[in-house]
Amino acid sequence: MPLISTRALTKRYPGVTALDGLSLELEPGVIGLVGANGAGKSTLIKILLGLLPQTEGEARVLDLDPATQGAAIRELVGYMPEHDCLPPDVSATEFVAHMARVSGLPSGAARERTADVLRHVGLYEERYRPIGGYSTGMKQRVKLAQALVHDPRVLFLDEPTNGLDPAGRDEMLELIERIGNEFGIAVIVASHLLGEIERVATWLVAIDAGRLLRTAPLTSFTERTGQLLIETDEPAEALAARLVVRGFNAQADGRTVVADLASHDRPEFEIYDAVRDEANSLGLALVRLEQRRHQLEDLFRVGGADERVA
């Protein structure tokens, strides 16, 4: 049984299609849900929580149907919204304990777990003060704590690093990684920042304009491309032209040349010798020479979608 599965999931609003035939199967782990703002990430999360009915298609979370068993799902999942959602006049302890009880925990367990969870997210003495006086970083921790306090099986985090400074960002990402790996809770983290997702996720789901671009292990997104990236200190058209003459497939773009490592039936690394010789004869200084890897950003380049849809 997969953690989450969807089949042809579609959500249409008047004039807008937020999700367009999304089919997914996700296993537990830290799952990055990436896409630009408005790509449909929040809509997907709300449908999975049973807060929003889909227009078409099916979804299952923990083998439950969000459309009919939403309450049962919401007892077992935690949700951290993107926006501010904390009342300013109560303390973190009071608020998180209340939210634990609203999740169905008896009051004793709610108090105990509140203390535990606030310690795990790194809130100590300040937890007895009203939330209104907290920094953004502390508020994000309270938001995370209320999603975690009832020990959910799945955690939905919507843009958890929103508004954080670089240090706060690092700490939040570290926490997410711990929750996924150490606490053993499946995490779906939605973000428009690929660099962050790359640091915590083991599996990646990329969506754009409500459509699935790709769903795959993170490693497959960044594997080697079989291309050589050559950067020089001057415009490199001449170098590319010479490589083509020598039978390699090469293209120049400003001061960089991208060439296929293996061309025709030449041995794979012969191109290194060719680059060295041609750069030397042209009097070009080589700045960088490396095997190119896929960049997550490639997913969202024009044409990326067509090439890579699974």
Partner 1 sequence: MSASPEPVGTIYDIGYRHYDGPRLGRRGAIAAIVGAGLRASFGLGRSGRSKIIPWGALVLALIPAGVAVAVRVLVGDLIDLYSYSNYLWGIGALFPIFVAAQAPELVVNDMRHRVLPLYFSRPIGRFDYITAKLAALSLALLALTLLPVLILFAGRVLAAEDFAAGLGDEIGALPGILGSGVLHAVVLAALGLAICSLAARRAYAAGAVLAVFLIGGVMAGTFQEQGRGLADLAPLFNPLAILDGARQWLFGGVVAESPVAAADLPLATYGLATVLLLGVSLAILALRYRRVTT
In the list 11, 141, 150, 242, the residue contacting partner 1 (rule: CB under 8 A) is 150
Specify whether the CB–CB gap between 184 and 152 falls below 8 A.
Answer: no
Q: Rule CB under 8 A: is residue 99 a binding residue for partner 1?
A: yes
In the list 58, 116, 234, 270, the residue contacting partner 1 (rule: CB under 8 A) is 116
Strand, helix or coil for residue 264: coil
- Count the alpha carbons within 13 Å of 216 in the hemisphere toward its beta carbon: 13
Binding to partner 1 (CB under 8 A) within 153-192 occurs at 182-184
DSSP strand pairing (154-158 vs 186-191): parallel
Specify whether the CB–CB gap between 77 and 140 falls below 8 A.
Answer: no
In the list 6, 54, 103, 227, the residue contacting partner 1 (rule: CB under 8 A) is 103
Q: Alpha-carbon distance 200 to 206, whole Å? A: 15
Which region among 73-81, 169-177, 209-217, 302-310 touches partner 1 (by CB under 8 A)? Answer: 73-81
- Count the alpha carbons within 13 Å of 219 in the hemisphere toward its beta carbon: 0
The partner residues of 290 in beta bridges, in order of sequence, read: 229
Q: Rule CB under 8 A: is residue 74 a binding residue for partner 1?
A: yes
Q: Rule CB under 8 A: is residue 72 a binding residue for partner 1?
A: yes
Nearest residue (CB) to partner 1, 94 versus 231: 94
> Least separation, in Å, of the C-beta of 153 and partner 1?
10
Which region among 103-111, 195-203, 254-262, 298-306 touches partner 1 (by CB under 8 A)? Answer: 103-111
Structure token digits, residue 85: 């959602």
Q: Rule CB under 8 A: is residue 87 a binding residue for partner 1?
A: yes
Q: Rule CB under 8 A: is residue 214 a binding residue for partner 1?
A: no
Determine the size of the site formed for partner 1 (CB under 8 A): 39
In the list 11, 41, 46, 169, the residue contacting partner 1 (rule: CB under 8 A) is 46
Q: Alpha-carbon distance 248 to 261, whole Å? A: 8
Q: Rule CB under 8 A: is residue 81 a binding residue for partner 1?
A: yes
Nearest residue (CB) to partner 1, 72 versus 229: 72
**What ranges in the chain are assigned the alpha helix state H?**
41-48, 66-76, 92-102, 107-120, 136-148, 166-181, 194-200, 218-221, 237-245, 270-282, 304-308
The residues binding partner 1 (CB under 8 A) are 46, 49, 51-52, 71-72, 74-75, 77-79, 81, 83-89, 94, 98-99, 101-107, 109, 113, 116, 120, 146, 150-151, 182-184
